Amino acid sequence: GLNALVVAKTTKLHEISSTLKKLGIGGNPKLDCKGRRVTFSKSLELGNQGN
């Protein structure tokens, strides 16, 4: 149901956040949603460069 979907999304965001922290990218809780998106897109660019 809807709750399972919310939990899945929350878990995914937590995994992304943990991964970014391990990579030393972002992880600043003071950033708003827009700031987090920018940080995440930058990390994707870095990942693409590594391939």
pLDDT of amino acid 51? 41
Residue-wise pLDDT for 28-42, tens only, equals: 555 555 555 555 556
What's the start-to-end Cα distance of the chain, in Å? 37
Residue range of the domain that includes 14: 2-50
| Domains in the chain, number | 1
pTM: 0.34
Residue-wise pLDDT for 1-51, tens only, equals: 677 777 778 788 888 778 777 776 654 555 555 555 555 556 556 555 544
